């Protein structure tokens, strides 16, 4: 073991190796996770040229290509995994998503159009329909003879699905539902498969029978006949050119009192008898609603995984390029610097690399939870709600992270980053809408926050008034302590200002856990206290108070998401047996945790959680950690396990290295030859020196 | 004057009106600035359909369309302003850029291709050539009979122009320069007008004569004959599809020892006699180099202005939509909230609105400085360097701000934001490269930082050793003070924790100035101290120390840019006579300053500049300021003065309002009729109540 002793340049402890040997094969396996084999199969498909996006196609050509690719996926037996074995599926829910998220490397439009067909349209029939529906509809959906739309979102309602305007009114005389768009804002919009390919659709509408609105339910409807003509009463318009994903044919559908038979209600969670009586196995309308839109959870998990995969591609490109590209020669007159050696470049790329690895583990945990619930292994109400909260927390941070990483990688490659063949820009354009899809990120974070607040409230549900008062008092005391910085003062006494001791503190797993947890807990408690004070006031006043703290609430939810990601990372790395690999993962985990804390350092200072002395050492310590990770960056991105057929970026092809080598060789030969021109600057300096020595001499 | 007295909801002082009357006509004039008339003329052109971008065109069609538009600009007499009067120009440098930046509203490709032709290719001939060159080349450039490329950037060198690989070796036998690409990395790349349209080019190359390399100079070269065939020795390839700006035909050029006559050296700042003797009016090779690439300053100013214009379009779209769009009904069972009323939405849009207005004033100041230098009114060396630093500081923050604002506006409009016709995504795609163009943002910030460091060093240039020691000691003392929080402690004593008093402190112009200035000063001093300690060490060690502080240095430059923007805003608003308008601008300026301070609050806490007591009141105060600005947001974006023909977004067209009104009317009629379905939730609640009362009764 090579140990270092200097206090200022390293903070390795007795357990650490200064230059650990990362085993990329081990790391690749760790990152591939539980569904490694499925991922390998899917990656092999994604590496085939027929599935690759071609830049610059018109949207018509792109749509045709992607539809053809979907048929190819069917032929390759790649779309069946989540469906029941009796229909040729594999009942593998986690594996199914793992497979689909890998398709993003071929073309995000392919991932999304597949997701619409099998993950939304098909999954709605599977999860909301009964066996009869499965027998009638699943075969055509699975073999793509019936492309279909998932008609949930309306022009007027995206986030607030419960308020959809489309109605499905039961007519007992004919035993049919009348599906109707009562006003323009209730027009279904942004529906993949609607503009061109969709034959059928699952339509979400307010189920009304016998004068009562039973809330949003799902209906199976025909859109077009076998010749592709739109059926009477249905008006479809094309959403046209989009910012990205132009291989998906999004469109709008308006229903003019079309009629579907009673059997077309997907009635697993809410049924209507021939004479119009409504019944449901789920008594609470609220819980029933969340079950109806539960299909979206699958979409959220899939978008999260695809975002992680796209972030990996971005970093493979940017890190490889930064290890070959040279610019400016600050430290040597002969050779320019590799740009990965610049501290700023390390600051730009390596924390994003750490977060990408962190999210990779978070996605693995999310997939496992998803599989537990959807396979039925553990689909208790509590576990389902936990899954919903986990997905609602991770999807926002992962999708935003992908956009941020793609953009930074694009900029880090300069002009080359802007060329479409390097894919940063087009992946950014395609993934842009992932932050809105299947639940707007901010709306999802608000869901998370509400869950945190209600969990917090339920802690005191059964407490007597005395317990509550004591708690409030202790909270207040703690606030007073924080307010007057006594806790901080206490910490200051223990602090010697020794940078090494401070670094040793920051890298402790338990310290990180406490800092990240404490922030969530305190933020939730603070807002809960505010909300409690108006709990018995009129609705409008409660809403106003909530709104006055909305920004805090969303920040608390983000902090919670960060904590969940950190926990996934920490759990995963503790299971890695290879010491060098575990060491590198620990550094990455530390970078993830400490950059999160650095971003919100003002909060930790204001709340007395970190003393000023310690806080001052944080950024320098992060810089040293990054410098330590820098030589490992290429190995880390290589261990993502994507081949040149997945990456397909000129910046990652080695072409830059060839050009640098050629230029270097040219300069070497030139310097060796007698014809090499002298630099004027050197002449000028020489002349100045001569003049100066003349003056001195004279 | 309506005064309010509540401490918690308002912080208006005696001078302030709680609901000031903003005069949008006044604000529009203030924002139009000195070149208002020119802007109006250019906006009138930009409003014409023939100049508008059509989404979804192939790059070939888009390129053709933009070339046609350039000819239309010539016909409309819109491209001549910066050229000398004798060639039909107006010698108006500031006005010229003001006019061009408005074209971004029509199509960024149009702005950029115009910029290549007249702002780079033409301007290089104008500024680096002599009268003879003007007579020979300018007429064809101005009337677009000679489209041309600005061949500076190479595959291997974008940021470090001084190290370009292309050589121009003088051959006295034929009185020609031999232009040559000695290796692949020296191939010119990303050149607008190169792939298809360019007939000629200005080529930047190392001028070598008589065995001496005199550094980068500019040469006029022919690329294609009249039939569009590439001339012998020249190889041009198409850069292909890009992330945006596909109306510009970027390409690569490789030179195989082509020969140009001696007269084709643009020799205003460096000439070669027939027998090969070199001379220059600028003795310092460094200063000569900066003069040679001075044309880029014009580009930086133009990109800054276009970024401000694009940010304005984004906010017009997002604010208008947010004032019409409704989602969720937290405070009322009947009507949903307008999303602009959500605190989070205010946090997302209003600080960006404040920054956009701030940058509008910063651009006005930059334009004035540019005009001073380029018109010759004040082109002293010092003023030119100030212009370069100002442009290098403002261009990064403005271009990044545009991307950030376009992205946030896109997300704030949900799915609608992703439809290409709403332009957020396509403007983002087009402006993406502005952060790299004409100087990578981080490289520019490093230039700024070096200027700050050298200014700082020059303060002590003439000081004797004693003065320097005293200064260092006082610095150290101040650091000690900060380190042990004594300054903060002092402030704490004065702080009563009164929120109103704290708000009154934060909104003082001088307090903001001191906080923003102090941060730059201290950061620069800290880094300068580190660099001073290695000033006499070998080059490699100095470079390593610089690199260890690069992240800090870039942050110092950003802080400096923020300060410059703040100063522009403050100077501008003080000249506004209309009290209500000045009041609103002051609030916007406060939001700009305070959100900057909020973002870096940890720095202010760690350096004892703001006490914890005071710091705690900052975010709540910003929230209140935003709530106060919220009712004015629509008026502010309306006063940007763009018409529907500039904005061209469905989200800003009023269509959303129409849909909301229609839906509202539908619900009103339904509620009034006897057929309105009852909500199941209400029934369930009623049933629960009945059961409860039965239990109680029974």
CATH number where A251 lies:
2.40.110.10
What is the model's pTM? 0.94
If asked whether residues B131 and B155 sit together in one domain, one would say no
Contacts of A212 in chain B (CB under 8 A): 677-680, 683
Q: How many CB atoms lie within 10 A of CB B162?
A: 17
Residue A476 has pLDDT above 80, yes or no: no
If asked whether residues B363 and B230 sit together in one domain, one would say no
Residue A470 has pLDDT above 70, yes or no: no
**Higher per-residue pLDDT: B33 or A688:** B33
In a domain, A203, yes or no: yes
pLDDT digit string, tens, across residues B432-461: 999 999 999 999 999 999 999 998 888 766
The pLDDT, as a whole number, for residue A675 is 78
**Quick one: pLDDT band at residue B462, thresholds 50, 70, 90?**
low
**Do residues A48 and A42 make contact, with C-beta atoms less than 8 angstroms apart?**
no
Residues A312-323: what's their mean pLDDT?
Answer: 98
With an 8 Å Cβ cutoff, are B415 and A433 in contact?
Answer: yes
If asked whether residues B116 and B249 sit together in one domain, one would say no
If asked whether residues A492 and A556 sit together in one domain, one would say yes
User: 3-state DSSP call for residue A200?
Assistant: strand
The number of C-alpha atoms within 13 Å of A42 and in the hemisphere containing its C-beta is: 26
The pLDDT, as a whole number, for residue B89 is 93
Phi, psi of B17 (to 5 degrees): -100, 135
If asked whether residues B280 and B356 sit together in one domain, one would say no
Residues A371-391: what's their mean pLDDT?
Answer: 92
CA dihedral over B503, B508, B514, B515, signed as positive or negative: positive
DSSP code for A119: I
In a domain, B2, yes or no: no
Phi-psi region of A279 (alpha: psi -120 to 50; beta: other; left: phi over 0): beta
With an 8 Å Cβ cutoff, are B548 and A623 in contact?
Answer: yes
Phi, psi of B419 (to 5 degrees): -70, 130
In a domain, A276, yes or no: yes
In a domain, A115, yes or no: no
**Higher per-residue pLDDT: B6 or A100:** A100
If asked whether residues A243 and A320 sit together in one domain, one would say no
**Quick one: pLDDT band at residue B477, thresholds 50, 70, 90?**
very low
If asked whether residues A454 and A485 sit together in one domain, one would say yes
From residue A312, alpha-carbon distances to A98, B19, B181 in Å are: 15, 50, 36
Residue B464 has pLDDT above 70, yes or no: no
Single residue among A638, A666, A684 that ends a domain in this structure: A638
With an 8 Å Cβ cutoff, are A550 and B425 in contact?
Answer: no
In a domain, B23, yes or no: no
pLDDT digit string, tens, across residues A260-298: 999 999 999 999 999 999 999 999 998 899 888 887 899
pLDDT digit string, tens, across residues A576-635: 999 999 999 999 999 999 999 999 999 999 999 999 989 999 999 999 999 999 999 999
**Quick one: pLDDT band at residue B497, thresholds 50, 70, 90?**
low
In a domain, A243, yes or no: yes
pLDDT digit string, tens, across residues B285-295: 988 998 888 87
Residues B134-163: what's their mean pLDDT?
Answer: 95
Pairwise CA distance, residues A277 & A95, whole Å = 40
B527 vs chain A: nearest CA distance in angstroms? 13
Displacement of CA B119 from its chain's centroid (Å): 17
Residue A159 has pLDDT above 90, yes or no: no
Report the chain B residue with the minimal C-alpha distance to residue A438: B415
Contacts of A185 in chain B (CB under 8 A): 659-660, 662-663
The pLDDT, as a whole number, for residue A129 is 97
CA dihedral over B635, B637, B640, B641, signed as positive or negative: negative
B236 closest CA partner among B221, B250, B216: B250
The pLDDT, as a whole number, for residue A692 is 79
User: 3-state DSSP call for residue B400?
Assistant: helix
The pLDDT, as a whole number, for residue B494 is 58
Residue B572 has pLDDT above 60, yes or no: yes
The pLDDT, as a whole number, for residue B169 is 98
pLDDT digit string, tens, across residues B49-72: 999 999 999 999 999 999 999 999
If asked whether residues A408 and A497 sit together in one domain, one would say yes
Q: In terms of DSSP bridges, do strands B271-272 and B251-255 run parallel, antiparallel, or are they unpaired? A: unpaired
The number of C-alpha atoms within 13 Å of B10 and in the hemisphere containing its C-beta is: 14
The pLDDT, as a whole number, for residue A457 is 82
Single residue among A638, A670, A689 that ends a domain in this structure: A638
Among A537-541, A682-686, B210-214, whose mean pLDDT is lowest? A682-686
pLDDT mean across residues, chain A? 91
Residue B157 has pLDDT above 50, yes or no: yes
The pLDDT, as a whole number, for residue A8 is 38
Give the whole-number percent of chain B exceeding pLDDT 70. Answer: 91
The pLDDT, as a whole number, for residue B469 is 54
Phi, psi of B326 (to 5 degrees): -125, 145
Pairwise CA distance, residues A49 & B70, whole Å = 39
If asked whether residues B183 and B116 sit together in one domain, one would say no
A403 vs chain B: nearest CA distance in angstroms? 10
Q: Which residues pair with A221 in a beta bridge?
A: A201
* Tokens 């991770």, located at residue: A394
If asked whether residues B158 and B275 sit together in one domain, one would say yes
In a domain, B261, yes or no: yes
In a domain, B644, yes or no: no
Contacts of B157 in chain A (CB under 8 A): 327
If asked whether residues A290 and A396 sit together in one domain, one would say no
The pLDDT, as a whole number, for residue A474 is 54
Contacts of A53 in chain B (CB under 8 A): none
pLDDT digit string, tens, across residues B67-95: 999 999 999 999 999 999 999 999 999 99
If asked whether residues B80 and B59 sit together in one domain, one would say yes
Residues B381-387: what's their mean pLDDT?
Answer: 91
pLDDT digit string, tens, across residues A633-685: 999 999 999 999 999 999 999 999 999 999 999 999 988 987 789 888 888 88
With an 8 Å Cβ cutoff, are B554 and A336 in contact?
Answer: no
Pairwise CA distance, residues B47 & B481, whole Å = 58
Pairwise CA distance, residues B117 & B149, whole Å = 7
Single residue among B142, B176, B195 that ends a domain in this structure: B142
Take residue A666 and report the two structure tokens written for it: 């040219």
**Quick one: pLDDT band at residue A459, thresholds 50, 70, 90?**
confident
Residue A210 has pLDDT above 50, yes or no: yes
Pairwise CA distance, residues B569 & B545, whole Å = 36
Question: Domain range holding A615?
Answer: 297-638
Domains contained in chain B, number: 4
CATH number where B623 lies:
1.20.140.10
Outline where B78-189 has alpha helix (H).
93-102, 108-114, 122-128, 131-142
The pLDDT, as a whole number, for residue A6 is 35
User: 3-state DSSP call for residue A204?
Assistant: strand
pLDDT mean across residues, chain B? 91
With an 8 Å Cβ cutoff, are B554 and A429 in contact?
Answer: no
Q: Which of A418, A432, A619 sits opposite B425 (nearest CB)?
A: A432
Phi, psi of B498 (to 5 degrees): -75, 120
ipTM: 0.94
Residues B177-191: what's their mean pLDDT?
Answer: 97
């Amino acid at each position: 073991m090579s140990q270092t002793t200097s206090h200022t340049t390293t903070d390795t402890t007795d357990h650490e190796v200064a230059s650990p040997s990362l085993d990329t094969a081990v790391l690749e396996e760790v990152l591939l996770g539980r569904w490694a084999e499925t991922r390998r199969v899917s990656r092999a498909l994604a590496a085939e040229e027929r599935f690759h996006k071609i830049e610059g196609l018109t949207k018509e050509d792109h749509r045709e290509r992607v539809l053809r690719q979907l048929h190819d996926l069917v032929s390759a037996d790649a779309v069946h995994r989540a469906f029941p074995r009796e229909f040729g599926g594999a009942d593998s829910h986690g594996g199914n998503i793992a497979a689909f998220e890998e398709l993003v490397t071929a073309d995000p439009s392919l991932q999304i159009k597949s997701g619409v067909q099998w993950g939304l349209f098909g999954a709605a029939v599977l999860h909301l329909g009964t066996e009869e529906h499965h027998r009638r509809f699943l075969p055509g959906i699975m073999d793509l003879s019936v492309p279909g739309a998932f008609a949930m979102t309306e022009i007027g309602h995206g986030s607030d699905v419960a308020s959809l305007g489309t109605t499905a009114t039961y007519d007992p005389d004919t035993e049919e539902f009348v599906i109707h768009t009562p006003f323009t804002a209730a027009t279904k919009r942004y529906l993949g498969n609607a503009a061109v390919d969709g034959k059928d659709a699952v339509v979400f509408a307010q189920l009304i029978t016998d004068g009562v609105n039973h809330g949003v339910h799902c209906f199976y409807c025909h859109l077009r006949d076998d010749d592709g003509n739109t059926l009477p009463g249905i008006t479809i318009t094309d959403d046209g050119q989009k910012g990205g994903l132009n291989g998906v044919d999004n469109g709008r559908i308006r229903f003019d009192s079309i009629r579907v038979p009673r059997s077309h209600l997907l009635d697993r969670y809410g049924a209507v008898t021939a004479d119009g009586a409504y019944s449901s196995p789920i008594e609470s309308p609220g819980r029933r609603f969340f079950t109806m839109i539960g299909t979206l959870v699958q979409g959220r998990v899939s978008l999260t995984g695809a975002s992680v995969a796209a972030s990996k591609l971005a970093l493979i490109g940017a890190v490889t390029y930064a290890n070959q590209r040279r610019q400016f020669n600050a430290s040597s007159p002969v050779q320019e610097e590799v740009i990965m050696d610049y501290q700023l470049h390390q600051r730009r790329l390596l924390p994003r690399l750490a977060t990408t690895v962190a999210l990779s583990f978070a996605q693995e945990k999310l997939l496992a939870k998803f599989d537990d619930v959807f396979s039925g292994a553990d689909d208790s109400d509590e576990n389902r709600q936990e899954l919903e909260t986990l997905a609602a927390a991770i999807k926002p941070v992962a999708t935003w992270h992908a956009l941020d990483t793609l953009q930074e990688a694009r900029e880090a490659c300069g002009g080359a980053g802007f060329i479409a063949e390097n894919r940063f820009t087009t992946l950014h354009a395609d993934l842009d809408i992932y932050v809105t899809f299947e639940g707007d990120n901010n709306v999802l974070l608000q869901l998370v926050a509400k869950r945190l607040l209600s969990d917090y409230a339920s802690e005191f549900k059964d407490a007597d008034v005395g317990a509550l008062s004591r708690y409030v008092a202790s909270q207040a005391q703690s606030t007073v302590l924080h307010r007057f910085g006594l806790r901080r003062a206490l910490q200051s006494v223990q602090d010697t200002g020794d940078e090494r001791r401070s670094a040793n503190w920051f890298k402790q797993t338990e310290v990180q856990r406490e800092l990240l947890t404490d922030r969530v807990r305190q933020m939730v408690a603070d807002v809960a206290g505010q909300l409690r004070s108006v709990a018995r006031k009129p609705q409008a006043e409660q809403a106003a108070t909530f709104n006055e703290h909305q920004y805090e609430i969303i920040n608390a939810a983000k902090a919670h998401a960060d904590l969940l990601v950190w926990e996934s990372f920490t759990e995963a790395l503790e299971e890695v047996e290879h010491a060098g690999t575990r060491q590198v993962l620990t550094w990455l985990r530390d970078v993830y945790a400490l950059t999160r804390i650095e971003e919100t350092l003002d909060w930790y200072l204001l709340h007395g959680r970190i003393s000023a002395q310690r806080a001052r050492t944080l950024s320098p310590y992060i810089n040293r950690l990054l410098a330590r990770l820098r030589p490992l960056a290429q190995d880390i991105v290589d261990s993502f396990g994507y081949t040149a057929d997945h990456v397909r970026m000129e910046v990652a092809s080695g072409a830059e290295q060839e050009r640098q080598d050629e230029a270097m060789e040219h300069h070497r030969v030139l310097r060796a030859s007698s014809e090499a021109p002298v630099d004027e600057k050197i002449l000028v300096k020489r002349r100045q020196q001569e003049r100066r020595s003349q003056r001195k001499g004279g």
